[in-house]
Structure 1
Amino acid sequence: MTVEIKETLVVRNREEWRKWLAKHHADKKEIWLVYYRKASGKTGVTYDQSVEEALCYGWIDGIRRFTPRKSKSNWSDSNVERVRRLISTRKMAAPGLAILPAEVRKKIRA
C-alpha cells in the first residue's frame, strides 16, 4: 500500500480544527492533520480532541505512521513507561533495547 500525502493542515488548537471541519467537511475527501509531541513546545490539537471534533462533522481518523526512532529523539514519559512494561514482560526485542539512550535506561531502572 502506497500512501500519498496531498494536503496537510496545521492548527493551533481544537477550535481551529473545528472551524476547518465546519468549512470543508463536505468539499474535502481527506486532510493530513499535523500533531506535535509535547516536548516540541508547539501548540496544537491532541489526538483525542481531533477525533471528537471529526466525529461531530461525520469524519474519522485513518492511518497511523510508524518510523524508526532517531537517536536524538525525545522520549515521552508514556513511552518510557511502555518500555518499562515491555521489558518486565520480556516482550522488548534486542533492536528496541539497543536504541535506548542512557537517560531512558536510568528512568526505567528507577
Structure 2
Amino acid sequence: MFIRCAFFRGVIKPGRKAEFDAHIQAELVALWTRFPHVQEVRVLRQVESDTSDPHFEMVLAMRFPSREAIAEALDSKTRYASREASKRLFELFDGDVFHTVFSADEFPLPAS
C-alpha cells in the first residue's frame, strides 16, 4: 500500500482556526473521500512534538493500493476540484505545503 501525505508546515493565521477547520469539513473532506481508488483519508493535527521546528498544523494522509492508483487520482477531475477548493486554506495559513508518498507495510497486532 502507499500513503500520499500533504504536510502543512506552519501555522493557521491568528483568529482563523475555526474558518480553516470549517472549510475542511464543509468542502474538502467530501472531495478527498471521492478521489479515485482512495481507501482511507485521515486528517492529522499536531498535538505535541519533541521538537518545536518544524510545526505541522495538519497532515492529510490518503491511502491507495498502488502508485498507479495515485497517478490516476492525481489526474482526476476530483483532484483538480480539490486543488481549487484548497486555495481557501492557503489564504488562512502561514507556511508551505509539500507532498510525499510513502510505501507502507502493515503488521497485525499479536493476540492478547
TM-score computed with the length of structure 2 as normaliser: 0.23
If asked which structure has higher relative contact order (CA below 8 Å, sep 6+), I would say: 2
Q: Which structure is higher in strand share?
A: 2
